[in-house]
Chains A and B, each alone.
Chain A
Amino acid sequence: MLNVNNIVKQYATHLALDDVSLSVEQGKIFGLLGPNGAGKTSLIRIITQITAPDSGEVIFNGQRLNASHISQIGYLPEERGLYKKMEIGEQVLYLARLKGMSSAEATKKVRYWFEKLEMGSWWNKKVEDLSKGMQQKVQFVATVLHEPELIILDEPFSGFDPVNADIIKNEILELNKKGATFIFSTHRMESVEELCDSIALIHHSKKILDGTVAEIKEKYRNNTYWVEYDGEYNLEQAAGIFKVVQKDELKDITKLKVQLEEGKTANQLLSALLPIVNIHRLDEVIPTMNDIFIDQVKQKN
């Protein structure tokens, strides 16, 4: 639904985005990853039409991005902000109407969401009277209220306590199920693995990696396994099948982290071990997104 094609954005002294392309599929949750200052926010600002790219184009549902798409995009910036002196209900209503909703429709929606997230009693409160977590909730509601097709969340869980973070996560999944497409911008990898279907990694203004989470993980598997057993095994016998990366000897149990040699399979690893020791456990070590992220960023540095 969203295609970003060869975007370049130059600020006075530095290149914020250098020929970045990516594509977000309808109904998916897309993770936009990268260390601080990589260019994530610059890209989001282009998608939300806050700024325009120097070259390249953004295609939204087959059309070149234009003002009519504003109402179809919801954006929760990393730097949250609301009018401090304005009442909550009025404020959310105002933001929804600026997205093009009619007054009656917006009122209905605000009531629905306030009810749903147990914020009913906040209507006449001012933002400055709310806790930070409560403000985040209000802001989330303001972002999704106009039922945008594309919802862009910049660090959505920062500032939430675990309980509220969970509530918000469930709301995101529910909206996703109903068809909303999400873009997550974050540098916190746990949430990415849980929620995202695909990701793009941006570093130093360039996209250095993208694809579905499954694909990427597949790509970064390197035939490493954890094996647990009891018994004596002479590691020299393993030559040609696997090599030991790490060895922990506990009371009765030995834990080995091994990497298979080129072309060998887990079955061959087991065949080698089975006759000699009692196997307790065999796990493939799949790199976490965090590992991949750190690995990639380090490589590029």
Chain B
Amino acid sequence: MTFLLTRLNKKINVMNKILLIIQREYLSRVRKKSFILMTLLTPLIVGCFYGLLIYFSIQGASSTNNKIAVVSENKTLTEKLASTKNTSYVYVNKSLAEMKSNLGKDGFDYILYLPEFSLDAPAGIQLLGTKQAGLAMNSKVVDDVENTIRIQKLKESGIAQEDLDKLKSSVNIDNKKIDETGKEQDSSAGATTIIGSAAGILMFMFILIYGIQVMRGVIEEKTSRIIEVMISSVKPFQLMMGKIIGIALVGLTQFVLWILLSATISTVAVKVFVNKNDIPQSAVSTLKAKVGSSIEKQVTDDGPIAYVQKSIANLDLTKIIMVFLFFFIGGYLFYSALYAAIGSAVDSETETQQFIMPVMMPLTLGYVLSLSVVTNDPYGTIAFWLSMIPFTSPIAMMVRLPYGVPDWQLALSMALLVIGFIGTVWIASRIYRVGILMYGKKTSFKEMLKWFTYKN
């Protein structure tokens, strides 16, 4: 009985010490000016950016209306170019030289010059303007002219106008994903890619930033020589875990604050930038979305932002955030233990380079492949393995998640990550306990391997 009590007491004692260390590591970082500044400024920048983006896309959609004067010497194409929403074609009965001299004063933005050519080999078409036509503008005009020529050619080959009209069809693909229960879900490749990539980038940043903070913390304890005092009070493992967990909490605090602040700021920003008079798409579409699915198609027609917003609404955000938190903690533990081992092996930050490389490589590789291969083929073999191997799974799985990942894969990946971080924490703690007491020695990988095999 007394034996059990002393064991229990010891356990409580150990926990208390780890808690104390966590508390110090957490508070000393959260109170830092740089942390407060970063936490407040980042969402402000993101929020304003988001607000501006919406503002400009709304403004952009309604204001860039180009008026193009068409000088046509081509009989077959006269009065055939049809104006569209943002581009209006006006056929003028003036010569090119005449128009050129008046350009900018007569209310036209561009002159489209169509010389006489055979429809089989159109050549010599010019688009003139006081300013260089943008890429989008240029391809729009090219499309319009090509289209007109094609219709003209079809007519020449004897197809009647009515038949041509019948040929026209408006195609709009509704992306629907069918889950295991057979339920259909609206999805959008665009939105999932955005969410997935954003989560992947965030994961990469978090692991990198906070992993390096762990390393710095260890080096700081070593160079300030407090380590010997600490280790005479607590076990190296407790100190390492306390530090890792404390910094993880700093990361989570920042993450949660970012989400809350970004949401608040972007809502405010949208309200500020978008005044009621030009509420065109987004507001209307939200309204429509509320009215019912029957008009959904029109909603998607209304504008890209509304479309993305709607798709985001259809993603299971709670699940994504929960999984994100799990993979963040898992991935962070996995890597930060390695960073702690590196920090323990060196005397100053300048010496860390050779050790950081091998840790950074899989992380960076995972990041790059996730944003290229995985987004292109989220269900492929490479994507599968990247999201299973603990070195890359935190990022790859986050990128894959919005596309939908079978539950067994998610569970397997999580389990592997847990095994992975227990492994790295164990390896790191063995290197750490020796490394922190080594001074003035240039450490090599061989040396670290030797430390690993040391008895206590």
Binds A, one of B43-51, B68-76, B223-231: B223-231
* A98–B227 touching, CB < 8 Å: no
Q: Which of A12, A77, A81 has the most CB of B within 10 A?
A: A81
User: Which residues on the A side are within 8 Å of B221 (C-beta)?
Assistant: 83
* Known pairs A94-B20, A95-B229; A52 contacts B224 (CB<8 A): no
* A99–B233 touching, CB < 8 Å: yes
Give, as a whole number of angstroms, the nearest-CB distance from A130 to chain B: 13
* A79–B231 touching, CB < 8 Å: no
Cα distance A86–B21 when bound, in Å? 13
Give, as a whole number of angstroms, the nearest-CB distance from A39 to chain B: 15
Interface of B is mostly: helix
* A82–B224 touching, CB < 8 Å: yes
Cα distance A268–B228 when bound, in Å? 57
Give how many A-B residue pairs fall within 8 Å (CB-CB).
65
A238 at the interface (CB under 8 A from B): no
* A81–B226 touching, CB < 8 Å: yes
* A67–B10 touching, CB < 8 Å: yes
* B24–A94 touching, CB < 8 Å: yes
B178 at the interface (CB under 8 A from A): no
* B228–A83 touching, CB < 8 Å: no
Q: Which of B20, B233, B439 has the most CB of A within 10 A?
A: B233
* B455–A80 touching, CB < 8 Å: no
Cα distance A99–B20 when bound, in Å? 11
Cα distance A48–B437 when bound, in Å? 14
* Known pairs A50-B232, A51-B456; A83 contacts B226 (CB<8 A): yes
Return the CB mask of A67-109 against B: 1 if under 8 Å, else 0.
1101001010101111111100000001101111000000000
Cα distance A12–B449 when bound, in Å? 12
Return the chain A residue nearest B231 by Cβ: A50
A260 at the interface (CB under 8 A from B): no
* B28–A98 touching, CB < 8 Å: no
* B228–A77 touching, CB < 8 Å: yes
* Known pairs A81-B225, A98-B20; A70 contacts B455 (CB<8 A): no
User: Which residues on the B side are within 8 Å of A49 (C-beta)?
Assistant: 232
Return the chain B residue nearest A76 by Cβ: B229
Give, as a whole number of angstroms, the nearest-CB distance from A147 to chain B: 15
* A48–B232 touching, CB < 8 Å: yes
User: Which residues on the B side are within 8 Å of A99 (C-beta)?
Assistant: 233
Interface of A is mostly: loop
B10, B233, B455, B456: the one contacting A98 at CB < 8 Å is B233
User: Which residues on the B side are within 8 Å of A129 (C-beta)?
Assistant: none
A142 at the interface (CB under 8 A from B): yes
User: Which residues on the A side are within 8 Å of B67 (C-beta)?
Assistant: none
A54 at the interface (CB under 8 A from B): yes
Return the CB mask of A231-244 against B: 1 if under 8 Å, else 0.
00000000000000
Cα distance A14–B227 when bound, in Å? 23
Return the chain B residue nearest A49 by Cβ: B232
Cα distance A82–B229 when bound, in Å? 9
* Known pairs A12-B450, A67-B10; A50 contacts B228 (CB<8 A): yes
Return the CB mask of B9-35 against A: 1 if under 8 Å, else 0.
010010011001100100010000000
User: Which residues on the A side are within 8 Å of B456 (C-beta)?
Assistant: 51-52
Give, as a whole number of angstroms, the nearest-CB distance from B320 to chain A: 37
Give, as a whole number of angstroms, the nearest-CB distance from A185 to chain B: 13
* B224–A84 touching, CB < 8 Å: yes
User: Which residues on the A side are within 8 Å of B405 (C-beta)?
Assistant: none
Give, as a whole number of angstroms, the nearest-CB distance from B5 to chain A: 13
Return the CB mask of B225-244 against A: 1 if under 8 Å, else 0.
11111111110000000000
User: Which residues on the A side are within 8 Å of B234 (C-beta)?
Assistant: 98
Give, as a whole number of angstroms, the nearest-CB distance from B435 to chain A: 13
Cα distance A98–B225 when bound, in Å? 17
* A70–B232 touching, CB < 8 Å: yes
Cα distance A51–B28 when bound, in Å? 29
Cα distance A75–B234 when bound, in Å? 13
B17, B20, B225: the one contacting A79 at CB < 8 Å is B225
B13, B21, B28, B229: the one contacting A81 at CB < 8 Å is B229
Cα distance A71–B10 when bound, in Å? 12
Give, as a whole number of angstroms, the nearest-CB distance from A217 to chain B: 33
Give, as a whole number of angstroms, the nearest-CB distance from A168 to chain B: 17
User: Which residues on the A side are within 8 Å of B230 (C-beta)?
Assistant: 98
User: Which residues on the A side are within 8 Å of B437 (C-beta)?
Assistant: 45, 50-51
Give, as a whole number of angstroms, the nearest-CB distance from B99 to chain A: 71
Return the CB mask of B352-370 against A: 1 if under 8 Å, else 0.
0000000000000000000
User: Which residues on the B side are within 8 Å of A81 (C-beta)?
Assistant: 224-229
* A85–B232 touching, CB < 8 Å: no
Q: Which of B21, B24, B220, B227 has the most CB of A within 10 A?
A: B24
* Known pairs A51-B437, A52-B455, A94-B20; A73 contacts B232 (CB<8 A): yes
Return the chain B residue nearest A74 by Cβ: B232
Return the chain A residue nearest B9 by Cβ: A68
Return the chain A residue nearest B227 by Cβ: A81
* A75–B229 touching, CB < 8 Å: yes
* B232–A142 touching, CB < 8 Å: no
* A86–B225 touching, CB < 8 Å: no
Cα distance A45–B226 when bound, in Å? 14
Return the CB mask of A146-188 against B: 1 if under 8 Å, else 0.
0000000000000000000000000000000000000000000
Q: Within B306-335, which residues are at the interface with A (CB < 8 Å)?
A: none
* Known pairs A94-B20, A100-B13; A70 contacts B225 (CB<8 A): no
Return the chain B residue nearest A100 by Cβ: B13
Give, as a whole number of angstroms, the nearest-CB distance from B133 to chain A: 57
B20, B232, B455: the one contacting A54 at CB < 8 Å is B455
For this complex, 8 residue pairs linking A to B, each with C-beta atoms less than 8 Å apart, are A51-B437, A52-B456, A67-B10, A75-B228, A77-B225, A82-B226, A84-B224, A94-B20
Q: Kindly list the 10 A-B residue pairs having the minimum CB-CB distance in the complex, ordered from nearest.
A: A81-B225, A81-B226, A52-B456, A98-B233, A77-B228, A48-B232, A79-B225, A75-B232, A81-B224, A50-B231
Known: A81-B228, A98-B17; 11 extra A-B contacts, CB below 8 A, are A12-B450, A50-B228, A50-B437, A52-B456, A77-B229, A79-B225, A80-B225, A81-B229, A85-B28, A86-B24, A95-B233
